[in-house]
Amino acid sequence: MPFGVDFKNPNFAKVGEAMGAKGIRLEEPGDVKDSLAAALAHKNGPVVVDAVVDPFALSLPSHVPFHTAESYTLSLAKQVLSGRMDSVIKTIEHNIRLV
């Protein structure tokens, strides 16, 4: 069964700014290079980079061992059997582009 919490994260770049750091909010994948270059170029104190990501995106290595795929499949089956088919469909929809 999936675990975690379902709450809205604050804008951590703004939180960092409120505490005296430089804040950079990263919302688009195309902005990664420029945002990280700006963060690394900043020399006057700390930098907070807030990277907004798709909550349904899978974090997988380039090579997935069989036991990992097996466990993931079992997890999806348990979600379906416990009535969470909507969550399974969202995960598939958000990750189909990776196949």
pLDDT of 41-55, one tens digit each?
Answer: 999 999 999 999 877
Flag whether 22 is in a domain: yes
DSSP 3-state of 59: coil
Residue 72 lies in a domain: yes
Instruction: Quote the domain boundaries for residue 76.
Output: 66-98
Q: Could you tell me if residue 3 is inside a domain? A: no
**What whole-number distance in Å separates Cα of residue 78 and Cα of residue 81?**
5
> Is 26 within a domain?
yes
**Number of domains making up the chain:** 2
Nearest to 97 by CA among 62, 59, 57: 57
Kindly tell me if the per-residue pLDDT of 5 is higher than 70.
Answer: no
Does residue 45 fall inside a structural domain? yes
Is residue 32 in a domain? yes
pLDDT score of 97 more than 90: no
Residue 1 lies in a domain: no
Continuous segment of H or E residues that includes residue 35: helix 32-41
Task: Give the mean model confidence (pLDDT) for residues 7-24.
Answer: 94
